[in-house]
Amino acid sequence: ATTTHAYAGPSGSTPATYTATVQATDINGESATVSTTVIVIPRSPISVSIADSCGTAATTGQRCTFTATVTGGGEGKTTAPIQSYTWNFGDGSDEFTTSGNTASHVYTSSGTFTVTVTVRTVDGRTATGRTDILLKLP
């Protein structure tokens, strides 16, 4: 027989240890019990940062390229696999989703804009990174 169980896992950075026990009884009433130890390793927090190609002298009409860098979220010190990146350029344009960590955008007005990217891991967790850019009229 096979069964599955989802453990809640640890709430901190220390692994959680559980004991799984099964008892089987046959048709003659004889039974046996066996146990095993299950160790759940915590996932590290997910962190997202955004770098841009606009620079400090950015002007409207210039194409800005943004790159999201994700760290953490995996077991131990690994980075979680990312399913998607949802970008918001802070200027009222529609959000859009990419499978890669870069996106480009052309701004048509000057001002300060907050760019955000929300990453979704393959297991459904999310994290958001943001950066501000200042654009001037040409």
Q: What is the pLDDT of residues 53-79, one digit of tens each?
A: 886 666 778 789 999 999 988 876 788
Does 114 have pLDDT greater than 90? yes
Q: In terms of pLDDT, which residue wins out, 138 or 32?
A: 32
Is residue 66 within 8 Å of 115, Cβ to Cβ? yes
Q: In terms of pLDDT, which residue wins out, 55 or 31?
A: 31
pLDDT of 40 reads: 84
Give, in order, the Cα–Cα distances in Å from 134 to each of 36, 68, 91, 109: 58, 19, 12, 10
Mean pLDDT for 109-132 is 93
